[in-house]
Every structure is written in structure tokens, then in C-alpha cells.
């Protein structure tokens, strides 16, 4: 497995994208914001929103001082807008419990609203250069192919997977942090889910999946992402009306956003759990 580390680190040195949250000047807050935004969302869509977010709220205290609805409004069309509410709640917790400074320990990060194992490890590694096992979808796919010889990993992280990732981590914390982001970048740019660019991979000669003839995935069916006509699309349309309105709106404004009344009303009720508030017979962001 040690044959993987040096080639991937050298590849990253030559091919890493210049992303604002990776720059030496990036704050831990910038890294945390990026990790929330990048969940199930491509980098190209995140970049302009991340820049606008940091311009408006350069520190957690700046966001915490605003209503949570402003976070939802600024989230725009990134999708999965409850991430905006959780990021606002995390900012409030950072101010309340950590003096306005993004904590640097895995356990303290894990205690923030909306922060799971991956995000806590990623912020500790990328913002504070710590030695952490960082397992996102891209990392898991690279290690699954290169080490285990499978096209796609299991649906959830296994003990064996975590053991492989831990064994590969360089002992030096800053190098380990670079390794974690390097594997992630390789999965994003070369070892992609569809049409992987194997001829351009720095470890193609030692990749177990390549050596086995690139066997096709034979596990449980992988979930297919759909959007058109779904409740998610309907909720997005309703939220778009509220984001664009300077204040509250009447129900008929929301009715005009989606033709199917039963689905529209069901989705509106689901949004009333924190993303939308009812103000009398009108509706608004919180």
C-alpha cells in the first residue's frame, strides 16, 4: 500500500485545483463553510456561493448575528437547503461554546450541529493540518479500487475500509492532511464514478481493480439520483419564491410555483419544520 502514497502526492502537487478553501490563507471558517456546501454539490456550483458567503459573513459571529432565514436566502440554489440552517446553527454554537473560533479538535467539531464524522475529520485535517482519517465518497472509491479491487465501496464505511485508510496515512500530520486531500482530488478528477480516466492515473500500475481487469460492481443496486417532478424539486420551487420575496408572501404566490396541489401542499407542510414559518395566513423564511 505504501506504493500508493508517493505517486499520489506527486500527482497532487502537479494537478491540484486552486480552490479558495485550500489556500494557505484560508480560515478554518472558510473550510467549514466549504464542507457544508460541497455535500452532494459540485465544486463549480459552490465556488460563487462560497465567495459571496465569506464576503458577507467572514467569521462565524457574523452569520450567528443574522436570522437563520438569511442563511437560507444566501444559500440560493445550491440544493438541500437544510444545510444552510445547520451551518447557521453551527455558527451560533461556535460563538456560544467556542468564543467565535472554529474548534480544532475532532471531538469539539463533531459536537457542532450538522457536523458528522467526515466533516469533523476534514476540517481538522484541512484547516488545522492534523492526521485524520478523511473518508468521503471520492476517497472511498479510490481506495476501494486501488487496494480492494472493487469498482465501488459498500454503502457505508466498513471497519476494514477505515483500517486501510488509517494504514495509508503518513505519520507526519501535515503530510497526512495533504495526502487526504490528494486522494480526494484524484477521485474527483481521475478516478471518477463514471468513465474513470485510468491512463492518467498515477497508480494505474499498482491498482488492484485495474490488475483484476476492472470487474464491474456486483453489490446492492446503487441509488439513482432523480430530480424532475420530485418533492425535492417542488420544495425548491417554493423556497425560490420565498428567497426572492422581500418579506412574507400569500399562499396564492406559492400555489403559482407548482401545479400539483396535493404535492405542493405536502411539500409546504414539510418545509414548516424550520425552513419556512407561517405568519398568520402568509409564509416567510425564518
In sequence order, what DSSP letters do the residues of the chain get, joined into one string?
A: -HHHHHHHHHHHHHH----GGGSTT--HHHHHHHHHHHTTS-HHHHHHHHHHHHHH-SSHHHHHTS-HHHHHHHHTTSS-THHHHHHHHHHHHHHHHHTTS---SHHHHHTSTT--HHHHHHHHHHHH--------HHHHHHHIIIII--SS--SS--HHHHHHHHHHS-SSHHHHHHHHHHHHHHHHHTS-SSS--GGG-TTTTT-HHHHTT-PPP-SSPPPPP--TTSHHHHHHHHHHHHHHSSS-EEHHHHHTT-S-HHHHHHHHHHHTTTT-EEETTEEE--
The reported pLDDT for the residue numbered 222 is 74
Please confirm, yes or no, whether 35 is among the known catalytic residues.
Answer: yes
Do 207 and 248 lie in one domain? The reply is no
Do 117 and 142 lie in one domain? The reply is no
Q: Is the pLDDT of residue 193 over 70?
A: yes
The reported pLDDT for the residue numbered 226 is 80
Does 99 map to a domain? yes
Query: How crowded is residue 165: how many other Cβ atoms within 10 Å of its Cβ?
Result: 21
CA distances from 122 to 22, 118, 146, 155, 250 (A): 12, 6, 21, 20, 42
The reported pLDDT for the residue numbered 233 is 93
**Mean pLDDT, rounded, for 255-272:** 95
Rounded-to-integer distance, Cα 102 and Cα 120, Å: 11
How many domains are contained in the chain? 3
Does 219 map to a domain? no
Give the CATH number for residue 52: 1.10.340.30
Do 111 and 158 lie in one domain? The reply is no
Does 226 map to a domain? no
Do 43 and 96 lie in one domain? The reply is yes
Among 181, 211, 241, the domain-final residue is 211
- pTM (two decimals): 0.91
Among 88, 106, 128, the domain-final residue is 128
Do 108 and 54 lie in one domain? The reply is yes
Do 114 and 168 lie in one domain? The reply is no
Does 223 map to a domain? no
Do 7 and 107 lie in one domain? The reply is yes
Rounded-to-integer distance, Cα 236 and Cα 257, Å: 10
Q: Is the pLDDT of residue 84 over 70?
A: yes
Does 200 map to a domain? yes
Does 147 map to a domain? yes
Do 14 and 111 lie in one domain? The reply is yes
**Mean pLDDT, rounded, for 266-274:** 94
Do 188 and 161 lie in one domain? The reply is yes
Rounded-to-integer distance, Cα 216 and Cα 149, Å: 10
Do 122 and 8 lie in one domain? The reply is yes
**Mean pLDDT, rounded, for 197-213:** 96
With bands split at pLDDT 50, 70 and 90, how would you rate the model's confidence at 228?
A: confident
Q: Which is it for strands 249-250 and 282-284: parallel, antiparallel or unpaired? A: antiparallel
> pLDDT exceeding 90 applies to what percent of the chain?
90
* Domain extent at residue 280: 231-284
Do 12 and 121 lie in one domain? The reply is yes
Calculate ∠ Cα 46-49-53, nearest 5°: 130
Do 192 and 161 lie in one domain? The reply is yes
Question: C-alpha cell of 225?
Answer: 439520483
Q: Is the pLDDT of residue 219 over 60?
A: yes
Q: Is the pLDDT of residue 1 over 60?
A: no
Among 128, 161, 193, the domain-final residue is 128
b/e map 199-228, b = 16+ CB within 10 Å: eebbbbeebebbeeeeeeeeeeeeeeeeee
**Mean pLDDT, rounded, for 31-41:** 96
**Mean pLDDT, rounded, for 37-58:** 96
**Mean pLDDT, rounded, for 74-83:** 93
Q: Is the pLDDT of residue 191 over 80?
A: yes
Mean pLDDT of the chain: 95
Does 220 map to a domain? no
Does 225 map to a domain? no
Q: Is the pLDDT of residue 4 over 80?
A: yes
Q: Is the pLDDT of residue 223 over 80?
A: no
**Annotated catalytic residue: which of 35, 151, 161, 185?**
35
Give the CATH number for residue 167: 1.10.1670.10
Q: Is the pLDDT of residue 224 over 90?
A: no
> pLDDT tens, 115-164?
999 999 999 999 999 999 999 999 999 999 999 999 999 989 999 999 99
Amino acid at each position: 500500500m505504501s506504493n500508493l502514497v508517493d505517486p499520489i502526492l506527486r500527482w497532487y502537487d502537479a494537478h491540484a485545483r486552486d480552490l479558495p478553501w485550500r489556500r494557505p490563507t484560508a480560515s478554518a471558517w472558510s473550510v467549514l463553510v466549504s464542507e457544508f456546501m460541497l455535500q452532494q454539490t459540485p465544486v463549480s456550483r459552490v465556488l460563487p456561493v462560497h465567495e459571496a458567503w465569506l464576503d458577507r459573513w467572514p467569521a462565524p459571529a457574523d452569520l450567528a448575528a443574522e436570522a437563520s432565514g438569511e442563511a437560507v436566502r444566501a444559500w440560493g440554489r445550491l440544493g438541500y437547503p437544510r444545510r444552510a440552517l445547520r451551518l447557521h446553527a453551527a455558527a451560533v454554537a461556535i460563538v456560544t461554546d467556542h468564543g467565535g473560533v472554529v474548534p480544532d479538535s475532532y471531538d469539539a467539531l463533531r459536537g457542532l450541529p450538522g457536523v458528522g464524522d467526515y466533516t469533523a475529520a476534514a476540517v481538522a485535517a484541512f484547516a488545522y493540518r492534523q492526521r485524520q482519517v478523511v473518508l468521503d465518497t471520492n476517497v472511498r472509491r479510490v481506495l476501494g479500487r486501488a487496494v480492494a479491487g472493487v469498482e465501488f465501496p459498500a454503502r457505508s464505511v466498513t471497519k476494514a475500509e477505515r483500517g486501510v485508510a488509517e494504514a495509508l496515512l503518513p505519520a507526519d500530520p501535515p503530510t497526512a492532511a495533504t495526502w487526504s486531500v490528494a486522494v480526494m482530488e484524484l477521485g474527483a478528477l481521475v478516478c471518477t464514478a463514471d468513465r474513470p480516466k485510468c491512463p492518467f492515473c498515477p497508480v494505474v500500475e499498482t491498482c488492484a481493480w485495474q490488475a483484476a481487469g476492472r470487474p464491474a460492481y456486483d453489490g446492492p443496486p446503487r441509488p439513482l439520483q432523480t430530480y424532475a417532478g420530485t418533492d425535492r424539486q417542488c420544495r425548491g420551487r417554493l423556497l425560490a419564491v420565498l428567497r426572492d420575496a422581500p418579506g412574507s408572501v400569500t399562499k396564492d404566490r406559492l400555489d403559482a410555483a407548482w401545479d400539483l396541489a396535493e404535492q405542493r401542499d405536502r411539500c409546504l407542510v414539510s418545509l414548516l419544520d424550520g425552513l419556512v414559518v407561517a405568519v398568520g395566513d402568509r409564509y416567510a423564511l425564518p
